[in-house]
Structure formats: C-alpha cells, structure tokens
Amino acid sequence: MTPHSPLETAWTRSKPPLLRFLNNCLSEFAAETSGKVADYIPELGKADPAYFGISLATLDGHVYEVGDSRVPFTIQSMSKPFVFALALDLLGASRVESAIGVEPSGDPFNSIRLNSENHPFNPMVNAGAIACTGLIYDSTGADAFEQIRAALSRFAGRDLAHDEAVYASESQTGDRNRAIGYLLKTNAVISDNVAGVLDVYFRQCAVLVTARDIAVMAATLANRGINPVTGEQVLSAYAISRTLSVMTSSGMYDYAGEWIYRIGIPAKSGVGGGILAALPARLGLGSYSPRLDKHGNSVRGIKVCEALSSHYDLHMLNRSDDARNAVIADYDIGKSPSRRVRRPQEREILAAHEQEVRIIELVGTLSLSAVDYVSRRLAGRPRPQFVIFDLHRVTSTTRAGARLVAEAFEELAALNVTVVLSGVRRASKEWNTLREWTAELKNVRDFYLLDTAIEWAEDQIVYRYGGSIDFHETTELAEQPLLAGLSEEELTDLASLCAIRTYQSGAKILTTGDPADTLYFLRSGAVHVTLPDGIRLATLTAGMAFGEMALLEQIRSADVFADMAATAFEVPLKDFERFRKQHPRASECIMRNLARLLADRLIVANAKVDILTAT
C-alpha cells in the first residue's frame, strides 16, 4: 500500500467502534427535546438545554468522549453514592447502616417521608444523603466539605471545585431539604447543627463535574474502587459494592425498578442533567443533558443508557460463563515431557510412570467455577504424584477462586500429591493472593518456567523409582546416540581427532550467529541450549551431542551454556568431514542417527503444539 492511498488515509482516521456508537447516540438523541431544565434551584434554570455530552471510561483507563463532554455542570444527586461510600469507610459500616436504610422508597428524590423506624429509606434520596453528610459532619466538623470534595476529586482523578452561585441559590431556596434535616434531627439520625450539615450538603451538590469526570467516577465504581485512570484505590471494595447495591435498587428514585428491569446497569442521576452508570467489571458512563423527565432524570441520558444496554446486550443480569474455558491444556509427561534430553535409564523410568506428572495449563480468571471445574477434572483420572498448574496465562484470581484453590491444595496434600505452580511472577498481585491463601501448605512448590517445573517433577520421579541422575559421571564416545553403530575401530579413529575441553559453570560455549565449525560430545556435566531471547530448547547431560547442527548448517542458531562444570569431546567440523569421507559406512550411520534424533525432537515439538490446540 502506498503511503497516501485512500485506504491508508481511512485507516489513520478510523475510529474505534465504541466511539462511533457514542457519536451515533449524540446525533440521534440530540433531536430529543422533551423534558424541562430543573428550575426549582433558580440558578440551575440558566443551563443551556442544548448541551449534550457523553463519555465512556473503560477499566483499562481509556476515556471516550463526544459532544459537550467537557462542559462543567453541578453534580447534584450524583454526589450521593460517593458520599455514602465515603461515610461507610470513614465511620464504619455498622454506624452508617444503623442510621440509614437500604430499601427503595418508591418516592421522588425530595420526599420528606421516613421509614417505619423514622430513618431514611436509603442513601440515594435526599433524606438519606443529608443523613450521610450529617454523619460525616458529626465526625469531622468544619472539615466535612473538604473531605467530601477531596473524595469526589479522587474518584474523578482531578481536583474538583464547586459552583458558588448554584450553592448560594440552593441554599436560599432549599427549605424542603432543611425541613428534612430537622426531621432527621428530631429522630436522632443527625445530632445537631442542621444548618451546618445542610450547608455542606448544598455545597456537595454544587461540585462541578463534566461528563468525562462522571464517566471516570463511574468506572471507579465499576472497578471495585480503583480509579482506572490514576490507578488509585479510592475507597474500600466493601464500600463500593454496597454503594452499587443501593444504586441498583434506588439510584433512579421512583423510576428505579423500571430502570433496573429495562437497562440493568446500576446508575444515579442528578437534577443538574447528569446520569452516571457503572457496569461492574466493564465500564463507566457519564452523560450530560439538562432536560429532565418527571422523575428528575435526564431524558437524553436515559436514552443513551438504554441504547448502550440494548445495542451491546449489557444488562448485568443477562450473563453466562463456561468454566471449562479456563483449561487450555491437560496432559502428562508421556504426551509432553520437559526439554531435558534424558538418558535411556531415566527415559525408561519416566515412560513407566508418565501418568504421575500431570500438567494443567490455565487461562483467564481463576474464579470459583474455574477452580471447581479444574478440581473435578483432576479427580477424573488416576492419582498423580505431581500436579503442575501453569498459570502464566492467568490474568486474575477472585477471592472465591483463591479460597477454593487453597482448599483444593489442602486436599491434595492429604493425598500426598505435590502441587507445582509455574508462570506466577513473584511479588505480582496473583502471587501475593495465591501465597496469602496457600502459605500454610507444605506441598506447594513453584518455578517460573513451566519447563523447569516439568523437569523438576521428572527428576523426582526418576529418584523415587530408584533411578539416579549423576551429573559427575563421565561418558565415553561409544555411549553417544549420534555415534551408535560405529565399530570400535571407527570410534578410536574419531577419538584421535577430538580434544577434551573443560567449561566452568555458566560459561557460554556457543553463540547464535557464529560460524558452526565444531561438533561437541558432552562427556560430563550438563549444558542447556537457548534461543537468544532466553527460551530454553533443551538441557543435555553427559553422553549427548550438541552443536551437531553444524552437519547441516553453517551458522549457529542457538546459544549453549554450561549449567555446571562440564567437559566435552570437541572435534573441528573439517576433521569430522574428513573422517566421514574415510569411513563411508560410519558416515551413513551417523547421518541416520542424526535424522532419528531430529525426528524425535520434532515429535516432542509437535506434541507441545498439539496439546494447546487440541484440548
């Protein structure tokens, strides 16, 4: 494609589908002009009814914005969920929960009715919100507004100010809210200084936000309290989940039942024209359009939420999951051993006990259902000695999942099964969670690389069944599989061409890209073959050849390091080629052996690919 082809230009200008969706909402619903701008707070009546902004924040911290998404307006009742969450964390759940109910009232937001215990029905209506502010005021006094403003700012990820004119306007006309305040005081829900509490409440309602802020604040609720843009844990997961609960049942006042039935996303509206919708584990939406319906909810905002929910099928109760997706491979060492090239005696032992090392590769979230499924799957086959769980594709662990993991590991310990974890980076969140839950257990080991884990388990099997792995043993050329079938005379001739070389542990013996001009027969110790990016291809012990690809290629295609002090018979390629010319029968033997070794490697490599595509 040429740099300026029309397709290339279109490519650079193309928009993500979600942004296109929001733009479509904007143009389609701009035509909607029903509803009325709130004017019971005189200053609010000045808002331009044409304003329309939408923003959507994802949990990886991306914020989509269309229309008037940066026009400031007052947060009003959308402050209520955040102040409730703040009260829960600041004063403790029991204090707050004993003062304010969590039942939907079915009343408009400014209803002056209390429940049968003379407490507010819930924190999403004015009475409950004023009670929340009252509780915070009781404990922090003059600092209450600053505490609230700071908390709202952390949810938004920027410093929020308030609109003095709207505050003053509501303060002058807010007698109904004052009446609610006094009612709460006579019922001992707030202690005293109703005027002080109301002053904070009016200010909190006058905090200025944009649709973008609201989207980020909503996304923070949807993300268990972690602001996805700043990464800050703003409030506790407990406070956030309880806040979403009351948003679900009461966030949209006397429209709440209908809202959750039809749209199915926890939400909160404000008379300033904002709607905030938080879909847990998915996204946060903020919209701004000042015309309100008879419930006090933004007409266009509701349309945007309806469209989002139905177009993408986001109703939170319309979900399914299949735990079986968590397992992407389940096999034993018979099907896919480690990359360690084993000697015949080790190979025999491992072949007889291949079912005793089981490997289960997992992906995605370790949830309750995923772990439950894995534990049943494990039990469906004979008891292994070792179970390796490879977690390098696991992205998260829920608390339920971690608890079940701990319980499953305990059960395995009782049955003398050793658990080996691979793919968990130490000090990562996953590691900490798993460690927290499995700290007591003695049967859990971990290796970062799956191959190292498999190799370790194989070694244990070899030891358990009477085998020995003697790295210090010295082997002769006659034991090399590559030289199998050569006569004693031929071997003696070849030996006369070899020099014995010694390598320190860690020494680099071969380097990728270097000319391939020497063959090596490992005499003692162990070496490993890796690609330059660190991927290990094989571990070789005494009696095996390396650098043998020199027979086929001129350049080294991998690095070789000594794993421990090692010695090797080294023969220059040109001498070896001369030897082959002089001994045509031996040469044919060697090339046939080479073909067999390569075929064996290919079979193992194919099995590894197969395992991932066939499970």
The residues, any chain, with a CB within 8 Å of residue 564's CB and separated by 6 or more, are 471, 505, 525, 526
Which of 529, 478, 484, 522 has its CA nearest to residue 503? 522
Selected binder of ligand GLN within 55, 69, 153, 177 (CB under 6 A): 177
Q: Which is nearer to ligand GLN, 217 or 586 (CB)?
A: 217
- Per annotation, catalytic residue among 253, 288, 503, 520: 253
Active site residue 419: no
Q: Which is nearer to ligand GLN, 80 or 583 (CB)?
A: 80
| Interacting residue with ligand GLN among 86, 271, 519, 566 (CB under 6 A) | 271
Query: Minimal CA–CA distance to 338: which of 225, 437, 451?
Result: 451
Q: Please report whether residue 133 would count as binding ligand GLN according to CB under 6 A.
A: no
C-alpha separations of 271 from 206, 301, 305, 402 in Å = 11, 12, 17, 43
Q: Do 354 and 332 touch, CB atoms closer than 8 A?
A: yes
Choose between 255 and 521: whose C-beta lies nearer to ligand GLN: 255
255 as an active site residue: the answer is no
Q: Please name the residue that has the structure tokens 């003697």.
A: 470
Buried b (16+ CB within 10 A) or exposed e, 254-290: bbbeebbeebbbbbbbbbbbbbbbbbbebbbbbbbbb
Distance of alpha carbon 140 from alpha carbon 116, whole angstroms: 29
105 near ligand GLN, judged by CB under 6 A: no
User: Which residues contact residue 440 at a Cβ distance below 8 angstroms, ignoring those fewer than 6 apart?
Assistant: none
Instruction: Check residue 287 for interaction with ligand GLN (CB under 6 A).
Output: no
83 catalytically annotated: no
Binding mask 180-209 for ligand GLN (x = CB under 6 A): -------------------------x----
Query: 309: how many CB neighbours lie within 10 A of its CB?
Result: 20
The burial class, CB within 10 Å (0-12 / 13-18 / 19+), for 186 is exposed
Query: 33-49: b or e for each residue (b if 16 or more CB lie within 10 Å)?
Result: eebebbeebebbeebee
Q: Taking the complex as a whole, how short is the minimal distance between the CB of residue 204 and ligand GLN, in angstroms?
A: 8
Cβ contact 417:443 at 8 Å = yes
Single residue of 58, 77, 338, 422 touching ligand GLN by CB under 6 A: 77
77 is an active site residue: yes
Q: Tokens 């008379």 sit at which residue?
A: 271
Q: Which of 51, 55, 66, 80 is catalytic?
A: 80
Looking only at residues 144 through 173 of this chain, which bind ligand GLN when binding is defined by CB under 6 A? 170
Q: Collect all residues with Cβ–Cβ distance below 8 Å to 485 and sequence separation of at least 6.
A: 589, 592, 593
* Catalytic residue check, 253: yes
Nearer to ligand GLN among residue 171 and residue 475 (C-beta): 171
Q: Does 120 bind ligand GLN (CB under 6 A)?
A: no
In whole angstroms, give the CA distance from residue 262 to residue 13. Answer: 35
Contact pattern for ligand GLN over residues 211 through 250, marking x by CB under 6 A: ----------------------------------------
110 binds ligand GLN (CB under 6 A): yes
Interface with ligand GLN, residue 109, by CB under 6 A: yes
DSSP helix/strand/coil, 95: helix
Q: Is 296 in the site for ligand GLN (CB under 6 A)?
A: yes
Nearest approach, Cβ of residue 324 and ligand GLN (Å)? 46
Residue 433 makes contact with ligand GLN by CB under 6 A: no
Least Å distance between CB 297 and ligand GLN? 9
Pattern 32-71, ligand GLN, x by CB under 6 A: ----------------------------------------
Catalytic residue, from 51, 55, 64, 77: name it: 77
Is residue 270 at the binding interface for ligand GLN, with CB under 6 A as the rule? yes
Catalytic (active-site) positions: 77, 80, 201, 253, 271
Which residues make up the interface to ligand GLN (CB under 6 A)? Answer: 76-77, 109-110, 126, 170, 177, 205, 270-271, 296
